[in-house]
Amino acid sequence: MVRMTMLLWLLVVVSASAQTPISSLQQEIYDARDRVLPALVHIQPVIKDYRTGELKKQAVVGSGVIFHPDGYLVTNFHVAGKAERIICTLYDKEQVPALYIGGDPPTDIAVLKLQLDDYTGHIAIAALGNSDSVQVGQHVLAMGSPFSLSRTVSAGVVSTKDRFFSSEYRLPSGERTGHYNLWIQTDAAINPGNSGGPLVDLSGRVIGINSRATFLANNLGFAIPINIVKEVTASILEGGKVSRSWIGVQCQALQELEDYFGAQRNSGVLIASVDPGSPAERNYLKAGDIILAVDGDAVSARFVEELPRFYKKIASYAPGSEITLRVLRDENEYEFKLTTEELGDLQGEDFECADWGLTVKAITQQMQIENQLEDTLGVYVMGVKQVGAADIGGIHPGDIIISVNKMPVQGFADFIRTYNDLSAAATPRVLLAVNRNGAIRLAVLNVDSSQEGIVHE
Amino acid sequence: MSERPAIFPAAHFVLVFLLGLLLHGSGVNAQNFDFNRLDKVIHSYSVIVDMTIEISFGTHTNEQEERLLGTIVTEDGLVIFDGSSLTQEHVFSSFAGFSVKTTPTGIKITTFDDKTYDAEYVGTDRFSKLGFARIVSPEEVTFTPVRFATGHQFQVGSWVALYMLLPEFVNPPLAADVGMISAMLETPEKFPLTVGYSVLELASVIFDDELTPVGVLGSMMDPSIAQADAGGMTESFGEYDVALLGVITGERLEKLIADPPQRGKEDRAWLGITLQALTKDIADFLEIDAPGGIIVNDVVRSSPAEKAGLKVGDVIYEINAQPIGVNREERLPIFQRRIAQMGPGTSVEFSVFRPGDQKTDTLKLFAVLDKAPLAPSEAPEYENKPLEFTVRDLVLADYIRYNQDEENFRGVVVSRLQRGGRAIVGGLQIGDVVQRVGSLPISSIDDMEAAMKRIEADRPGEAIFFIWRNNKTMFINVKTGWE
């Protein structure tokens, strides 16, 4: 009976609302929808995953939005960054292939280009807004393909516009990400599959790219502000990637530490950690130094939310620039001149050694620092296939292969050459030396054996 | 003795597979143990050990009750029992990297004439997992101890009798059982932990067919050795579901009883290498003709190994001219145990292959073993009550785990934090290495104590810790609540 009553009541409400004129808010939502939805793209990349010790191809689903008349669209790096081939479904449900143009793991942005040769429809472009003028509480729409449900629109508000995430977050491919920008948080529903899709204001402009959500939470979604996306996509269109300067400092909010360091409120960026081998270390900067100015421009990070601005400021110098830091140390001010270096790739290129049952990565400078290695020679073991030759031989993920058959590995290309030679010659046994946490272990891989590992039941 | 020099004090282990239940069920009556007689004997020196153990693990402290079968082994009331729970700290600290403390907080010992005594914990032998406690009695009591026979010749197929402690709700408390010596292992391959296993009662006395006590059931693994020695090697346990226990022989027991292991005062010997087994594959590849050996993966600075001239890549194939039968990773503990049991100060000769670019050299190297460095759980601690944290000294295992250099890496490790306490709220985490407090550098718990004393005297509103975590440093502000 109660249910009947409720149903009746609902019907009344629905019919009543159907009769009232459309509210201006509703109309705005319709308009915004119509401006952006035609530029929304359902993306189905086949990505290459090396994590299990063999190259596995996996179909994934994400979202994207077209921003350029030549068919360029933006999505997340974690959607399409490792794609082997990409199929996109446009708003008119037509499928077109897309090419990967470039990506930027630190901001989780990638650019694709639709292959429109055989496409006869009309390419719609979404207008990009200005994320600096976003207001907390402002209505927004999220568009994308949550759980593959394409052309889905959800609505909410901007919950906050300066959410900070530390660099502890990593992409599935291993790169630390997200600390060069603040994030727009929204309660518009964002689910897996929404990644790369647009967050849209009611004037129908894209203000962010939806990238993250908090699982087991109710509507905690996060979008990369579009102003960051504009810069990143421009760099990618220009050179396929984003070039960043690096000086090798990790910073910490000054709040709660100002008294201790004798620093003035709202003045300075505290260095918490200095990377070994970095320009900062070579120029004797150290933890506890407070950077007051970069090339005369005052910098400050009293709160964590102010850290991305500083990181971005340093990153935006052309690599090789000489910069001058004014630094507070022990209540005295000093000037440090240092030459920035290119940040370079966070993770190296992948390679599958199918005969050996393992996958490796080239070691980049950032990986060298993270793994406390002496150099970037050698290759990093990404994955070890279960019961493969490497597994039986005792190789672990994270090992650094430093020699093959007693010949030192002189980098990634050298390693691939050696592997290919041994593989072509069908070499039955290979001796690897690996660095594991500073100790050098040996492993013999019985390549030709089809033997299974000894299983104790 | 000439065949088996003193460096292998317990090289012969005897494996018992308890087939008692099976035998009872099948009606086999191969043995005529006089259990009537044995029953009287066993009750004269058996005791029930009731023990409360405090286990501290990170921010948690739990108490655990144990009821175990014990045996009086000296007239003044030294008791042996299953001490495997008390060696958990080594297992966990190897895996988790932070300190787990197991502390017996109260031991009551009840004899079978229904007298209950307090007892003091002495220590636990890492190898056999035998725990030792001494009865404390206001008046002088002379106990009747078990006297283990030495020199017993164990043989595969010979029968043994033993007892186990039944649960509290049944009476009588002891149940007799028979088993068989099922293998003679010179090189035990794998000995899983048997904590809580009901049939195979660790530390229970083994009787031969003449009812002579000839040993006790024990385990032979020391999972902490690998870590204390050089890291790694903790994963080779627990693969078999079948409980395999060895007999700790009368000879070994005689030594243990004469000089029981004392908590914090064990003197294991140590060489100072990270090690790997010389498998047949690797031996073939390196063209080394040895049935087994130890590949040196790393040499700890200033260790006996470095002083002896051992180098990374060397293959040790003999100790004191005795071959090393280590040809699988799982057998590494055999070598580690041999070294550990030799005792500090022992001179050892190693026969070593040194593979070179052109040819492999054969060398004899001499090492004088040192006392093993402390395990993380053994490191001295300092507790600061006002700010609710505990730190311990850095030990070798930390340097290995953190891949840091002893010369350049200083600090103390946060080993415990009070939940909701000031330090944890300030952001300190277990495993953080505190390198400075305020402007004072910290290299030891003494430095820490001095720094905290100064802070407590000055009573500032906050204490600034400079810490190392995950290969990065940072500052942490702990509010003291004094302002």
The pLDDT confidence band at residue B31, using thresholds 50, 70 and 90, is low
* Residues of B whose CB is below 8 A from A446: 281
**Contact in structure between A192 and A226 (CB atoms under 8 Å):** no
pLDDT level of residue B350 (50, 70, 90 thresholds): very high
Q: Chain A contacts of B295, Cβ < 8 Å?
A: 441-442
pLDDT, position A452: 46
Judge whether residue B2 has pLDDT over 50: no
Q: Which CATH architecture has domain B269-371?
A: Roll (2.30)
Residue-level pLDDT at B441? 96
Q: Are B308 and B366 in contact (CB under 8 A)?
A: yes
pLDDT in tens, chain A (457 residues): 445 455 445 444 444 455 567 789 999 999 999 999 999 999 999 999 999 999 999 999 999 999 999 999 999 999 999 999 999 999 999 999 999 999 999 999 999 999 999 999 999 999 999 999 999 999 999 999 999 999 999 999 999 999 999 888 899 888 999 999 999 999 999 999 999 999 999 999 999 999 999 888 889 999 999 999 999 999 999 999 999 999 999 999 999 898 898 888 888 999 999 999 999 999 999 999 999 999 999 999 999 999 999 999 999 999 999 999 999 999 899 999 999 999 999 999 999 999 999 999 999 999 999 999 999 999 999 999 999 999 999 999 999 999 999 999 999 999 999 999 999 999 999 999 999 988 999 999 998 644 444 444 4
Are residues A257 and B438, on separate chains, in Cβ contact within 8 Å? no
CB-CB neighbours of B334 under 10 Å = 19
Reported CATH class of domain A350-446? mainly beta
Which residues in chain B are closer than 8 Å to A274, comparing Cβ atoms?
473
Q: Which of A309, A307, A300 is nearest to A328 (CA)?
A: A300
From A372, A394, A442, residue closest to B471, measured CB to CB:
A372
Mean pLDDT, all residues of chain B: 80
Q: Print burial letters for A240-256: b (CB count within 10 Å at least 16), e (below 16).
A: eebbbbbbbbbbbbbeb
CATH of domain A245-342: 2.30.42.10
Q: Do B464 and A287 touch (CB under 8 A)?
A: no
H helices present in B147-291, as ranges = 223-229, 250-258, 280-286
Residues 6+ apart with CB under 8 A from A12: none
Residue of A nearest to B311 (CA): A440
Chain A residue nearest residue B355, CA to CA:
A406
Residue A448: per-residue pLDDT: 65
Q: What is the pLDDT of residues B203-241, one digit of tens each?
A: 888 888 889 998 888 765 543 333 333 222 222 233 333
Domain A127-239, CATH among 1.20.1260.10, 1.10.10.10, 1.20.20.10, 2.40.10.10: 2.40.10.10
Residues of chain A with CATH 2.30.42.10: 245-342, 350-446
Q: For B443-479, write each residue's pLDDT tens digit.
A: 999 999 999 999 999 999 999 999 999 889 999 999 9
Strand B46-57 relative to strand B370-371, pairing? unpaired
Q: Is the ipTM of this complex over 0.90?
A: no
> Out of B231, B312, B474, whose CB is closest to A273?
B474
Q: Do domains B13-258 and B269-371 have the same CATH topology?
A: no
DSSP at B373:
P
- Do the Cβ atoms of A60 and A101 come closer than 8 Å? no
Torsional class of A330: left (φ above 0), alpha (ψ -120 to 50), beta (otherwise): left
Burial label for B37, CB within 10 Å (0-12, 13-18, 19+), is: exposed
User: What is the distance between the alpha carbons of residues A214 and A203, in angstroms, rounded to a whole number?
Assistant: 27
Catalytic residues of A: 78, 108, 195
Distance from CA of A161 to the nearest CA of B (A): 26
Fold of B379-479: Pdz3 Domain (2.30.42)
pLDDT at B44: 93
Contact A372 B403 (CB under 8 A): yes
Smallest CA–CA separation between A428 and chain B, in Å?
12
CA A315 to chain centre: 16
pLDDT digits (tens, 9 = 90+) for B404-413: 888 889 999 9
Cβ pair A440:B403 closer than 8 A: no
Give the helix/strand (H/E) hosting B215: strand B213-218
Question: In this complex, how many residue pairs, one in chain A and one in chain B, have their CB atoms less than 8 Å apart?
Answer: 77
Write down the pLDDT at residue A13: 45
Instruction: Locate the chain B residue with the closest alpha carbon to A372.
Output: B403
Amino acid of residue B358: Q
Which residues in B have their CB inside 8 Å of a CB on A?
230-232, 239-240, 274, 276, 279, 281-282, 284-286, 295, 297-298, 312-313, 329, 357, 400-401, 403, 438, 462, 464, 466, 471-475, 477
Measured between beta carbons, which residues in chain B are less than 8 angstroms from residue A250?
Answer: 472, 474
**Which of A330, A437, A449 to mutate to test binding with chain B, by most B CBs within 10 Å of its CB?**
A437
**Beta strands of B340-471 (E only): which ranges?**
347-355, 360-368, 370-371, 381-384, 389-393, 412-417, 433-437, 440-441, 462-469
- Partners of residue A272 in chain B, C-beta under 8 Å: 472-475
Q: Where in B138-197 does DSSP place strands (E)?
A: 159-165, 174-185
DSSP A159-207: EEEEE---TT-B-TTS-B-S-SS-EEEE-S---TT-TT-EEEETTSEEE
A273 and B477 in contact by Cβ < 8 A? no
Q: How far is CA A302 from CA A163, A164, A254, B13, in A?
A: 15, 13, 5, 65
Q: Provide the β-strand partners of residue A249.
A: A274
* Domain at A35-114, CATH from 3.20.20.80, 2.60.120.10, 2.40.10.10, 2.60.120.260: 2.40.10.10
**DSSP alpha helices (H): ranges in B193-279?**
223-229, 250-258
Kindly determine whether residue A272 and residue B298, on different chains, have CB atoms separated by under 8 Å: no
**Contact criterion met (CB below 8 Å) for A193 and A363:** no
Task: Using alpha carbons, select from A175, A180, A202, A200 the residue that is nearest to residue A190.
Answer: A200
pLDDT of amino acid B30: 46
Domain-wise residue ranges, chain B: 13-258, 269-371, 379-479
Closest alpha carbon within chain A to B273: A439
Which CATH fold topology does B13-258 show?
Thrombin, subunit H (2.40.10)
Which chain B residue is nearest to residue A286, measuring alpha carbons? B473
